[in-house]
Amino acid sequence: MPNAARTVLGLDASTQSLSAILLDSATGEILWNRSLAYRDDPRLLGFGFEHDTMVIPPREPGEAEQPPRLFIAALDAIFSDMKAAGVDTSTIAAINTSGQQHGHVYLSVKARTTFASLREPGSAESSLLDVIGDSFAYGGAPIWKTANTTAEASHIRAGVGGKAAIIERTGSDIPLRFAATVHRKVALRYPIAYAETCHIVQISSLVPAILAGDCTIPIDFGNACGTGIMNYRERAWDEVVLKAVAGDLPGGPAMLKWKLPPIAHPLATVGTLAAYFQRKYGLPADCRIIAGSGDNPQSKVLASGDLLSLGTSFVYMISSPDGGVDAAGTANAMYDGLGRPFNFGCRTNGALAWDRLRLRHGLGAKDYAACDASLANTPAGSRIRFWHPDAESFPVVGANSEPVRVDDGPADFVNDFSAVVDSSLGLVYRYGMKIAGAGANVGREAVSVCGGPSTSPGIMRRIAAIWSRPAIQAGQAGAALGAAVAAAVALVPETAPAERDALAEKLRGAIFAGKAVIEPDAALVQAYHAPGGYLDRLETEFEKLRKVS
């Protein structure tokens, strides 16, 4: 087991922030935590993203990219804050990363040299941006909100042999946000950038590549699922899918495969710390860099069972011990940061959409008091309204620039917010129940809920009622913390799987000790679940909306 004196660091590079959690690797005690909001931290301004959408102004509808240099600057900033806080960084035994799933960057040929220079002690005299900021063949980092790849997704699906064939191979029906569709889009639209790309790196791998000073490190097989190119069962790049993606591109499938990283277990050690971080921030030379994974896989580390993550997007993660895939294509099959299989549905319009709804009504993006008042003053399930400012992926529907109000209540914030909360959560639940095997735990095992909105008692009461089961209020226990827990587990030798499992369960127990468990209110359950009640009416109205979108 890891020495109790050693600590582990979990990092999460999300759409809105870079977060860090320092954890005692034996007890699960959180020793330090910090989150840098990109739109609020003055060190992270000026990179060209829109503050309401967090993306670079799109060149066409559905394009969603963030500036890759932003992640580099944020990494330097958070280590600076750690040093300024007096954190004893010399005890950090391992660093593990989470990155927004599907987000990725295109590195040029010079990246090998610039990243490797971080292993030189003299690099610490400069900033990370000065050393590696000019390493990109393409100026944007396409992210999970991508929705302009319909043609590319259709081409790939057909090339593999249709929906059933691609689900059987990859565990997913090639959603628009998956990286494979964007690789094809970039290659066709920006052939020079594609030709100059030597390494395609997921954001979850970009951070450990910087930490290790090595842009050739592997991607874990959990986040490789989110590319749409990995064979789910073989955990290797799928030759048939590669041909479908790149058969008619310059260099063909062999060239695309050459640009992709090798695949490793999410707990694998992929390097040790570059001299830059040793000299500048006092971390030890033997600090392990763990492969890392996507934000959804790392969040799932924290749950023994199902998990509802209320982040920028909403993700419902359903344990799948047998490694089965959803043949209907409603869900995406994946592995978590410990290597455990699960299925999930990902709703694009999550917490960020709720922020934007507040702004539409003239409130502050973080005016949570108004939200709590809305939920308290509007009966659960009394309004049916939809708002999808971005094209929705789960369940699929086109974007709506204006809220769609089915009821005749006032068009004010009180009614809009409570109704959109109900429809957002109700649709995730209703269509989540269509995922193969999803209904097995209804009424029995608690669902863990993490992310900012989980701190709201009103939202948690509605979740417990909609899911008709106890809801554990995990609060901000998200991807950074999951990455830290996985880092601690990675310190245990892989030859001791039982010890790894025991440590993971011990750390979960310590982290969630004392967390509130909200029991479902019988009256609210009836309001949502009664035949002809809210959930039935919600699905009926949503299907009407889909037909006209």
The pLDDT of residue 534 is: 97
The pLDDT of residue 3 is: 42
Kindly state the average pLDDT of the residues 158-171.
Answer: 97
Alpha-carbon torsion, ordered 62, 66, 68, 73, to 10 deg:
180
Q: Contact, 247 vs 155, CB < 8 A?
A: no
55 and 193 co-located in one domain: yes
Residue for token digits 């068009």?
411
392 and 519 co-located in one domain: no
Name the nearest CA neighbour of 361 among 407, 424, 420, 417.
Answer: 417
Name the nearest CA neighbour of 349 among 281, 395, 289.
Answer: 395
Q: Return the amino acid letter for 131.
A: V
68 and 165 co-located in one domain: yes
356 and 342 co-located in one domain: no
pLDDT tens, 289-316?
999 999 989 989 998 878 998 988 898 9
Tell me: pLDDT of 225 over 60. yes
158 and 83 co-located in one domain: yes
CA distance readout (Å), 545 to 100, 146, 225, 397: 29, 22, 30, 8
* Residue 85 CB neighbour total at 10 angstroms: 10
13 and 103 co-located in one domain: yes
62 and 144 co-located in one domain: yes
Tell me: pLDDT of 49 over 50. yes
CA atoms of 72 and 89, how far apart (whole Å):
20
DSSP 8-state symbol, 136: B
- Please give the tally of structural domains in the chain: 3
Q: Contact, 96 vs 9, CB < 8 A?
A: yes
419 and 447 co-located in one domain: no
Q: Contact, 405 vs 412, CB < 8 A?
A: no
Q: What are phi and psi of 271, to 5 degrees?
A: 165, 175
390 and 460 co-located in one domain: no
Whether 1 is in a domain gets the answer: no
DSSP 8-state symbol, 454: G
242 and 311 co-located in one domain: no
Whether 66 is in a domain gets the answer: yes
CA atoms of 381 and 277, how far apart (whole Å):
52
Tell me: pLDDT of 2 over 70. no
115 and 129 co-located in one domain: yes
The pLDDT of residue 39 is: 92
282 and 308 co-located in one domain: no
pLDDT tens, 189-219?
999 999 999 999 999 999 999 999 999 999 9
**Domain containing residue 136:** 7-296
Rg (CA), the chain: 22
CATH number at residue 468: 3.30.420.40
Tell me: pLDDT of 94 over 80. yes
